[in-house]
Structures are given as structure tokens and as C-alpha cells.
Amino acid sequence: MSEVLSWVSEELNHLKQAGLYNTIRTIGSPQGAWLQVDGRRVLNFCSNNYLGLANHPRLKDAARHAMDTHGMGPAAVRSIAGTMDLHVELDKRMAAFKGVEAAVTFQSGFAANLGVIPALVGKEDVIFSDELNHASIIDGSRLSGATIVRYAHCDPVSLDKVISAERGKYRRALVVTDGVFSMDGDVALLPEIYEQARKGKALLMVDDAHGEGVLGKGGRGIVDHFGLHGKVDVEVGTFSKAFGVVGGVAAGDGKIVEWLRQRGRPFLFSSAMTVPDVAACLAAIDLLEESTELVEGLWSNTEFFKGEMKKLGFDTGRSVTPITPVMLGEAKLAQDFSRALFEAGVFAMAIAFPTVARDKARIRVMISAAHSTDDLEQGLHAFQEVGKKLGVIH
């Protein structure tokens, strides 16, 4: 390796020594309750496949059929020749599903945040951002050039304080928060945040990536959960979690969505979602609109698993959703725990700095409607064994 690159090896070694090096596992099976991981069959506690849709026959059939009628790729960005009738249908179906005026899809949730935030605010403006917001919100905010003012996590009083202190110095303001926080599984206090945003004459945006398909009636998301229809200016979402596919969406006020079609840079400069992805997303919406059974299954699995984990003596933090952090503290302990679980046939990843604070390393368990009670019991047994062995529980 050339001398100018020696820093890369040094940094990689630092990560390994600190227990912060990401070991990336290879999955050799479809997503589901069980996975083939690095050649072993293990119980899957890692994926965002909340409803088990990632390998659902209806989604696969829809994708196959659409490939026959529409081919594979869009071969263009949305604004040139990449908007197929399927994309228009998905935009409309998402708007209806969310109960908003309009929606526009992006290639991913990450791309949606990079598109939406810079379209709404710029150099003369201010963004009030929850301190634990997702990386894509942070990056979208930085790209916008607006001043970023963070408020204490899930704290409307802190939001009120920063708005009072800073709002007057700027032209426009945007309040932005994750709906469900992906590392802790807690939920933004959206009604209070809405009040503060309105008082501060700020636009309100929520990123519902972990709320869609999970919260609200039949998985309609956090706005539905709190009954805030018409009050949140723009909701960003993803098709890569509960929907089981890939893609992103911005939904909300009709004028904002029209503006995003003119000024959302990933819409204008990156090719549209592929045909099978769009078709599979449409099938996922069909399933969610037909029945609430999967969402209910997800929640009953969640309640069972978390209840049992608490009985065993584990600390599941402040989660109120299927995201179940098992708080361990040191990154090294979390990695050892994850490795021992894997030996016991359970795939649950350790999450450490910089994804979470240095002393807040954890195992994050993702519960799915695809898990059977048997699966969950096997997982609980493994947690109990490893927890005792490593002295986390007694």
C-alpha cells in the first residue's frame, strides 16, 4: 500500500483494538425468521423485516409480473424519462395509505432525507434537530447549508428553549425528528413537537422509517398513531424496513411534494426505483390495506419477547416498539455477547460507537411477525445462557 494510504491501515487497526470494527456477515438465504449466515442456519434477530414481507410470495409474484410487462430498470431519472406508470401508482398509493395530499418516491429513505431537507431550507434558515436523529437526517441537514441547532432527545421543553433563543435570527425554520428512534426504539413526542413547531412558525418533518408498517392503524405510521393527520408538513419513509423491499418516500402537503419533484436532487439526478422494487412495494401496500393481522402479530411477538427479557433481568432501555435494545455498556462486552449468541445459533448484532454513545453499546434485537413463539423461546433461552456466562444477569 502506498505511503499516502498508510493512515487507512492505522485507522482500521485502531477500530479493531477498540472493538469497534464491523464484521460484516454474509447472508445466503432469503430474509425470514431463520437465515443462512456465513454458512450456518441461525435465528434472525437482526433484520428490519418487521412483517416478514421481504420474502413474501405476493411481493415476489408482483415483481415477476412487472418485470414481464415493464422490464427491469427505469433507465433514467424520474424527471427525464424514468417515471413509469408504476411509479405514479406507487406515489398515489402511498399518499392514500398515509392519508396525506401527495407523496413522491425516492431510491431509499437515505436519499429521501438528502432530497427533502435541502429542498426546504438553505443558508438563511435554521433546522431544529433531535440530538439522536438518524445519520441521513444529519447529512441532509448538512447538505442544506442551514444552521443546525440540536435539542435534547425527545424533549419538547428543550425544543421550546432553542426555538425561543434562535428562531428570530433566521428566515425559515424546520423542526425534524425521527418518529421511532432506530437504536433505542423510543418514539418522538410528536403532538408536543407539533405545538412547538407551530408556535415557532417552523415546518415540521418526521422520518417514519421504523414507524411505517409498525405504528398506527394497520401500520400507517406515527402520524396516524398520534392522530396528527394534516399537521405534519412532510413525512419521510422507507420501503426497506416493514415493506420488505427498498426505496424511500416523502409524503405530506401537496405543494411540498410538487416542490420536491422540482427541487429534490435525488429525484432529479439519480435514476428512479427499479420496476420489480416498485411492483413489490405496491403488493406490500395491498397486503397492509387488506388486513392488520401481520401488524398485530408483530406487536404480540414484541410484547412477549420484551416481557420475558425483563423477567430474565435484562435492561431493554426505553424501547416502546419492536426494536429491543439489550443494554450492555462496553463495546467489547456487546461484541463478545453477540459472538456467543451466534455460537448458540442466534444472529443478533452488537451496536456500538459511533452508532450509539461510547458507553451505551448494546445488542439490538429486531422482532418480526415472522417469528413463531418457538423461535422467540429459543432466542430467549440463548440470551439467558449467554447472559449468565458473561455475568450480565444472574
How would you classify residue 345: left for phi > 0, otherwise alpha for psi between -120 and 50, otherwise beta? left
- Please state the closest distance from residue 136 (CB atom) to ligand PLP, in A: 4
Contact status: 182 vs ligand PLP (CB under 6 A): yes
Q: Looking only at residues 223 through 252 of this chain, which bind ligand PLP when binding is defined by CB under 6 A?
A: 238, 240, 248
CB within 8 A of 1, min separation 6: which ones? 8, 9
Q: How far apart are CA 209 and CA 242, in angstroms?
A: 9
Q: How far apart are CA 170 and CA 341, in angstroms?
A: 51
Contact status: 375 vs ligand PLP (CB under 6 A): no
Q: Which is nearer to ligand PLP, 87 or 210 (CB)?
A: 210
Contact status: 186 vs ligand PLP (CB under 6 A): no
Q: Using alpha carbons only, what angle is made at residue 103 by residues 139 and 189, rounded to the nearest 5 degrees? A: 60
In whole angstroms, what separates CA 342 from the centre of its chain? 24
Q: Which is nearer to ligand PLP, 324 or 342 (CB)?
A: 324
Cell of 305: 419477547
- Mark the segment that binds ligand PLP (CB under 6 A) among 107-115, 270-278, 284-292, 313-321: 107-115
Contact status: 207 vs ligand PLP (CB under 6 A): yes
How many Cβ atoms are within 10 Å of 91's Cβ, its own excluded? 22
In whole angstroms, what separates CA 24 from the centre of its chain? 19
Q: Which is nearer to ligand PLP, 210 or 362 (CB)?
A: 210
- Mark the segment that binds ligand PLP (CB under 6 A) among 22-30, 207-215, 296-304, 374-382: 207-215
Contact status: 87 vs ligand PLP (CB under 6 A): no
Q: Which is nearer to ligand PLP, 109 or 156 (CB)?
A: 109
Contact status: 368 vs ligand PLP (CB under 6 A): no
Question: How many chain residues are in contact with ligand PLP, going by CB under 6 A?
Answer: 14
Contact status: 129 vs ligand PLP (CB under 6 A): no
- Please state the closest distance from residue 293 (CB atom) to ligand PLP, in A: 24
CB within 8 A of 235, min separation 6: which ones? 98, 100, 179, 205, 206, 207, 208, 221, 222, 223, 250, 251, 252
Per the omega criterion (within 30 degrees of 0), is the bond before 322 cis? Answer: no
- Please state the closest distance from residue 178 (CB atom) to ligand PLP, in A: 5
Q: What are phi and psi of 185, to 5 degrees?
A: 70, 20
Contact status: 105 vs ligand PLP (CB under 6 A): no
Closest residue to ligand PLP, based on beta-carbon distance: 109
Give the binding site for ligand PLP (CB under 6 A).
108-110, 113, 134, 136, 178, 182, 207, 209-210, 238, 240, 248
